[in-house]
Amino acid sequence: MKVGFIGLGIMGAPMAANLVKAGFEVGVYNRTPDKCESLVAAGAQAFDSPRAAAVGRDAVFTIVSDTPDVEAVLFNNNGVAAGASAGTVVIDMSTISPTQTVAFAKRLAQQSIAMLDAPVSGGESGAREGRLSIMVGGERAAFDRCLPLFHAMGKTIIYTGKSGNGQRTKLVNQIVGSLNLLATVEGLRVASAAGLDLATTLDAIGGGAAGSWMWSNLGPKIAAGDDRPGFSIHLHAKDLRLASEFLDDLNLEAPGTRLTSSLFRQAEDTGLGALGNQGLARLWREQQV
């Protein structure tokens, strides 16, 4: 299959690289062209617009920051919709609004272009190692056709149903992950205040019922003061804003989500947005200065 890939950030670049390694013919575009260089060296072809990256492609991936960015990449004058042909499948792997995802899919369907919403979980390491969890919504036939592409990037590929369900599932993922991250931050703060050895605490709790991906993967970074981003506070705050809007649509109370959303907004306001999401722990350190 010939594929286009648009958005070569922390997640997108290694995901596109895995498609190249799997033998697919990959055309790439990024707003900052120099991010294409390593992929071109690996065998990809670089293009100067989303439109050009979509011409003649069986599938086109997008993974960008937020809902307006996806809309621009798809529908502006040099967007994917202007270059893609009938029968192309657009696969958006960003985390964006489920409502807008459905609207985008309907617009593309007018050109006989299918759209799958396929957000991912697993962080930078999962993207690099091809171990992502991919949650896919949209037409089942399009999903089945694109399975070989998903298998090149992920380990857990789940079809979630109709258009928008991939995004809805991802927001549930972000709610659960955010609460686990807050628990990790708070647990390590308590352990530190109590004078416990943090490495020992991480081992003790990680092997029991309170263990989690956040505890095992981000806990050691928090303990070491390593704030380098695999997934930034800024993007995590955006995802929780989307989750809060989702709750509003459902008219559903979820106090844990509201709390974590407010804390990530506070971290952004404190100037921590560029840090990895484990840098949420810095919020309390900043308050103590």
Q: Which residues are catalytic?
A: 170
CA neighbor of 99 nearest in space, from 79, 84, 117? 117
DSSP per-residue letters across 12-57:
HHHHHHHHHHTT-EEEEE-SSGGGGHHHHHHT-EE-SSHHHHHTT-
Which CB contacts under 8 angstroms, 24+ apart, belong to 182-188? 182/259, 182/260, 182/263, 182/280, 183/210, 183/212, 183/214, 183/215, 184/212, 184/214, 184/215, 184/218, 184/219, 184/222, 184/278, 185/222, 185/278, 185/280, 185/281, 187/215, 188/219, 188/222, 188/223, 188/281
Cβ–Cβ < 8 Å for 79, 53: no
Count the alpha carbons within 13 Å of 203 in the hemisphere toward its beta carbon.
4
CA neighbor of 92 nearest in space, from 114, 76, 107? 114
